[in-house]
Amino acid sequence: MQAGARGLGVAAVLGAAMLWGSTGTLQALLPAARDPLVVGALRLLVGALTLLAIAALHGPSRRALAGLRAPWLLAAGGAMAAYNLLFFRAVLDVGVGIGTALTIGSAPVWVLLWELARHRRLPRGLRLLGQAICIAGATILAMAGQALDASAPGIAAALLSGAAYAGYSLLTSRFGGDAPPAAIAAATFGTAALLTLPVLALRPLGWALAPGAWPWLLMLGMVSTGLSYALYTYGLRLVAAGTAVTLALAEPLTAWILATVIVGEPVTAPKLAGALLLIAGLLLVTAIPARRRA
């Protein structure tokens, strides 16, 4: 793969991770009575509509939508739906810090286990070290100052959420070259939104109907979900899935910077150490490409 194309892929995934990092700040601006599961379903719905609008405006993407394979579409859409609902379920049980750390920290491990089982080999030594440093930095950054009162169901939900996110990345990386990125993202998120619609019928929606909630829900769906996954899907065409899920660990770094600058969260030594570790790991992973498949 040419260095220029890989650089574009890295930039797209990092851009997606930076947009994901705004999720926590936007959720904090929603009404206090918000239901996390409804937030997850609504962000999928708004994100899907955004991506469908993008695909509709792009001729090749619009034409490609009808030709996507149903089994792949159901698998990728189901993985994205599971990732969102399991993540927000985990957050209900164990809190944002632990839930985020376990979900995004476990995703590169799930991809590594899959590639080890399938190809019988590990990444290069320095690349593997970079992934380990990224996971350690992201975990410290997300969990610093959090109470460790996690429940077993919450931990299981977070780990399964990470597995679903890894599955989505692997599926999109392997089969996503069959159509333009906008078509792939629109179709998978449309499927995920349909699968999570029952949540909107079963959970309370009153808080979401408040006038002050909709601007932030739209931002959450259109920017932090729709635009971010358009970038992530594009990036998965140009970098390996293992690289993408590791680079996506830039999300807690962005969230920490926004919380510090906008919310006024104090800068503590553990969080600063986690941020520096994460940056060092990202630089290593970015510098060392993944091995080509035979």
Q: What are the helix and strand counts (H, E) for the chain?
A: 14, 0
38-57 core/surface letters (b: 16 or more CB in 10 A; e: else)? bbbbbbbbbbbbbbbebbee
- pTM to 2 decimals? 0.85
225-264 core/surface letters (b: 16 or more CB in 10 A; e: else)? bbbbbbbbbbbbbbbbbbbbbbbbbbbbbbbbebbeeeee
pLDDT at 147: 61
Give the start-to-end residue ranges of the domains of the chain.
Answer: 3-287
Q: Over the Cα atoms of the chain, what is R_g? A: 18
Q: Could you tell me the two tokens for 90?
A: 């985990």
**Of all helices (H) and strands (E), which one includes residue 286?**
helix 269-287
Burial of 207 (0-12, 13-18, 19+ CB in 10 A): middle
How far, CA to CA in Å, does 160 sit from each of 7, 134, 139, 143, 267?
30, 20, 17, 19, 31
How far apart CA 88 and CA 168 sit, in angstroms, is 17
Per-residue pLDDT of the chain (294 residues; tens, 9 = 90+): 466 788 898 899 999 998 988 887 787 788 888 888 898 899 999 999 999 999 999 888 888 888 888 888 899 999 999 998 898 888 778 777 778 788 888 898 898 888 888 877 766 677 788 888 988 988 888 777 666 666 788 889 989 999 999 999 998 887 766 788 889 999 999 999 999 999 998 888 888 888 888 899 999 999 999 999 999 999 988 888 888 898 888 888 888 888 788 767 788 888 899 889 989 988 888 877 665 443
pLDDT at 189: 94
pLDDT at 15: 93
pLDDT at 31: 87
Which one-letter DSSP state was computed for residue 203?
S
Strands (E), 147-270: none
Spatial contact of 107 and 162, defined as CB atoms under 8 Å apart: yes
Query: HSE on the CB side for 292, CA within 13 Å?
Result: 4
Give helix 228-236 / helix 181-202 axis angle, nearest 10°: 130
How far apart CA 138 and CA 256 sit, in angstroms, is 10
Spatial contact of 235 and 16, defined as CB atoms under 8 Å apart: yes
Question: Nearest-5° angle of CA 24, CA 25, CA 26?
Answer: 90
Spatial contact of 25 and 262, defined as CB atoms under 8 Å apart: yes
Query: HSE on the CB side for 224, CA within 13 Å?
Result: 23
pLDDT at 294: 37
